[in-house]
Every structure is written in structure tokens, then in C-alpha cells.
Amino acid sequence: MSDNIISIKDLRFGYGNRELHKGINMQFPRGKVSAIMGGSGSGKTTILRLIGGQIKPTAGQVSVDGTIVHQQDREGIYRLRRKMGMLFQHGALFSDLSVFENVAFPMREHTDLPENIIKDLVLLKLNAVGLRGAAYLMPTELSGGMARRVALARAIALDPDIIMYDEPFAGLDPISMAVICDLIRTLNDALGATSIIVTHDVAETFSFADYVYFIADGVVAAEGTPKQLMTSKLPFIKQFIHGEKDGPVPFHYNAPSLNSDLGL
């Protein structure tokens, strides 16, 4: 069994004529929390979609537990996805189901467990994210942070080997953010899972991630532990980590000079 549960080799992918990934290599070790960071539109979420087999690379490969994802048929991809849990940016809870039913959904779909066991398991999962008391609320009655925690309980419903988080901190208040940070680390260690977080929140991610990849211009611009990256001299990493307005990522979108646009 390889130490890396997910391996990405020479990955290339694009939408239409726009090449998003120009040869990306990444390794995600078992049991670790890894983060993929980069600016908006750099293709971070697309990497999660490639790992989940929702889209196919134009070149290179993504392998999960030794299986090359894009070579699988639908059944094969579904088998792989049963090893994965995914937290979407805004939770993606099923709006017609209660919190309880949302968490029970994967159990009902993929197991033949009796109702009393499902009930116990759902309550345990909700307890793990601190929302056992909200079991019978509807998603519309939850705050953004609560919805994210319910979605996390649903993502871990079947004790997956891999948990993927797409922008888990987006739009959260500081308390909810701290709760989610803590849950990601705690659940990863308690379940013995491997976590991949796609985010651009530096402070939160650096506080608990084991390893971080930075993507820029379609390639891995830098990688390392949070400690190594904090001291990085690379201009892009410095700009990103310290939130500088101008740098390798320019403030202005490509445009002719202001004078020519104003006819001066």
C-alpha cells in the first residue's frame, strides 16, 4: 500500500481554449491534512472535481488508492467515490430533506442498515459536529456555519478514507471558522482519513494543515509545510500570504493604458 492515497501526475486540463492546469504534480499522504491554495480561478476546485472523476484530464493522470480515476467506467468511479466525502462550498444540503435525513442520505443509499442503527449513527455524526440538537431542523433554518457543519457530518457519514473540502471557510464568521478548522483536524485524526482542503484563507489553513500546495499560472508554484512557506522568498507566495495588493498578481486586469482609454 502506497503512502500516498492520491497521486496527481503531469495533470493538464482546460476549459475550451483556456488551459487551466499545465502539468501539475501533487501527492497526498494518508492520514494527513493537505491544502491547495491559490488565487480565484486558478483551478483549485477543478482539482477536486478531477479527483472525484466529475471531469477528465486532457493529459496526465489522477490516481486514487492506486486506481487511475479517468480510466474507470461509471461503476468504477462510483466505487471510488464511496471512499470519498466532500464538503461543498455552501454545504449543498438537500433542501427538501431535514438535517437528519441529509446525514442519513448516504447511509440509506449505500447500506442496508436497519432504521434504529441509522438513527444512532446519524445522531453520533451530528454530535461530532455539535449539531445533534438541530437534527430535525430544515436546511433553510440553519446559519451558514451550521449548514457547513451538517454538510461535514454528511460527508463523514460513511467514514470515508478521503475527505475533500471546497472553500470550507467562505463567508463564515470568525467563531464558525474556528469551529470548522477544529473539526477538520479532529475528524481527520479521529477517522484516520486523508483531508484535502481547497481554500485561499491563509491564516486558518496554516494553523492546522500538514502540507500546502500553491497553484499559480497552471502549475504548482510552491509547496511545503506551513512553516516552510511562511519564510518563502518567492514573490507570489509573499504577496499571497501577506495579502499585498500588487505584485506578481497585478492589481489591474489586462487593459490598454488609461490615457488611451480616456482618449488623452
Partner 1 sequence: MKTLFNFFEKLGNSITSRVLRLGAATRLIFLIFVYSGDSFKRIHLTIREVYFTGVMSLVIIVVSAFFVGMVLGLQGYYTLQKYGSSEAIGVLVALALVRELGPVVTALLFAGRAGTAITAEIGLMKATEQLSAMEMMAVSPIARIIAPRFWAGVIAMPILASIFSMVGVLGGYVVAVPIIGVDEGAFWSQMQANVDFNFDIMSGLIKSLVFGVACTIIALFEGFDAPPTAEGVSRATTRTVVTSSLAILALDFVLTSFMISG
Q: Among candidates 38, 34, 20, 13, which has minimal Cα distance to 201? A: 38
Q: Is the dihedral of CA 188, 209, 212, 218 positive or negative?
A: positive
Stretch of 27-35, 82-90, 128-136, 186-194 contacting partner 1, by CB under 8 A: 82-90
Does residue 105 interact with partner 1 by CB under 8 A?
yes
For partner 1, the binding residue among 78, 190, 235, 244 (CB under 8 A) is: 78
Helices and strands per DSSP (H, E), number in the chain: 10, 10
For partner 1, the binding residue among 66, 82, 207, 219 (CB under 8 A) is: 82
Stretch of 6-14, 84-92, 113-121, 128-136 contacting partner 1, by CB under 8 A: 84-92
Backbone φ and ψ for 217, nearest 5 degrees, come out as 55, 35
Type of residue found at 191: L
Extract the C-alpha cell encoding 27. 501527492
Q: How far is CA 114 from CA 75, 108, 109, 111, in A?
A: 25, 9, 12, 9
Q: Could you tell me which residues are beta bridge partners of residue 13?
A: 21
> Any idea what the Cα angle at residue 225 is, between residues 219 and 227, rounded to 5°?
120
Shortest Å, Cβ 116 to partner 1: 20
Shortest Å, Cβ 50 to partner 1: 13
| E-assigned strand segments in 94-229 | 162-166, 194-199, 211-216, 219-224
For partner 1, the binding residue among 10, 109, 189, 217 (CB under 8 A) is: 109
Stretch of 15-23, 34-42, 90-98, 118-126 contacting partner 1, by CB under 8 A: 90-98
Does residue 86 interact with partner 1 by CB under 8 A?
yes
Shortest Å, Cβ 252 to partner 1: 27
Does residue 10 interact with partner 1 by CB under 8 A?
no
Does residue 90 interact with partner 1 by CB under 8 A?
yes
Radius of gyration of the CA atoms of the chain, in A:
20
For partner 1, the binding residue among 88, 132, 144, 226 (CB under 8 A) is: 88
Q: Are 12 and 23 in contact (CB under 8 A)?
A: yes
Does residue 15 interact with partner 1 by CB under 8 A?
no
CA distance 40 to 20: 12
Shortest Å, Cβ 237 to partner 1: 30
For partner 1, the binding residue among 14, 23, 31, 106 (CB under 8 A) is: 106
Q: Give contact residues for partner 1 (rule: CB under 8 A).
A: 52, 54, 77-79, 81-82, 84, 86, 88-90, 92-95, 105-106, 109-110, 151
